[in-house]
Chain A
């Protein structure tokens, strides 16, 4: 074990970094940015330290920038290797170096699969900016960090896969780009966590009117889609409800806030229609 100025790797810091990587395996991607911020303290210095440091930073880079399950698995593996490296560092630095060579060697084998094919660069861009949440997946731009935080706070709907993004009765929006049901169905299919479960659209008014986007999405995916008939709200603690917006006076100003909740709760479940029904062919 190295001592004093020769001490090049801090096993405790290394274990802490490993812990960050695998303790929250399911939420690693969702918490990517936070993790990056929490784990950027140095874990070592000197020649061996640099090897460890670069491996840890490479890991944080992947966590912050990628969200696939393959990467999460890689992360669990990498964390195990880091723990082993920490233990070995307490014996010899050269063992630490060889342990970290394994991190590098693991990466190509566990690299994420090729990105799914999308019909347009806009859909592909939305997919890449999406974040995994407890409930499913959320699509907000990088500067919408609050919307992402709200989406992460939302609990899963039992047995359902939730898509969280800005909505209207006939389209959903990512940044300044609108997507129709067909494009939205690409985002659902691209996510290996969907598993053909019924879909919950946590997306305002996507179940409103005669033929909302929720119906078209159900036709495209062949599963039931549950969507709000009015605005859908959620708070910092993950509580949610459906309610139309209404103008109220708060203090000295008019504010557009949730009004009374509709009878029946405001959620509507739409099943796939037989081919040929409605305006559009079922997908």
Chain B
């Protein structure tokens, strides 16, 4: 199971966007990827809205929720930064989406449990 990339380092408490991630302005692609990201089985949440780390004025914007498709784990941040900045997930994850016609597959409970363990194994 893999955690989708977003931030590659944290400096003074503020994360920096992974420079490997591509941006797009292709609305069709954004819609397809968003459709996949909006699926996935819920794993873990905290009822809080975290800041937009790319906009110093963007406090309290992003729901703290993690979901999985059984192979990848992603969060509300991946949806938010795709929707607002066109930031695409990494290529391997995009291939997974394409292979599934941009519809996240059904996930067995055991996969939700594995994702949970990965997120809380601190």
Contact = CB atoms under 8 A, between A and B. Distances in A.
Tell me whether A and B are bound partners.
Answer: yes
Given A165-B47, A173-B49, A149 B42 contact: yes
A253 B120 contact: no
Interface in A140-195: 144, 146-147, 149-150, 164-168, 173
- Which size bracket describes the interface of A in this complex? 35 or more
Interface in A249-263: 250-260
A233 B60 contact: no
Contact of B60 (A150, A173, A232, A234): A173
Interface in B51-106: 60, 63-65, 67, 73, 75
A150 B48 contact: no
Interface in B1-22: 2-10, 15, 18
Contacts of A164: 47
Interface in A236-260: 236, 245-248, 250-260
Nearest to B73: A250
B44 A235 contact: yes
Nearest to A163: B47
Interface residues of B, number: 34
Nearest to B53: A256
A146 B42 contact: yes
Interface of B: 2-10, 15, 18, 41-50, 60, 63-65, 67, 73, 75, 112, 116, 118-120, 122
21 contacts: A150-B45, A150-B65, A168-B60, A173-B49, A173-B60, A203-B47, A204-B64, A231-B46, A231-B48, A233-B45, A234-B46, A235-B43, A236-B43, A250-B3, A250-B118, A251-B3, A252-B8, A253-B4, A255-B7, A255-B119, A258-B122
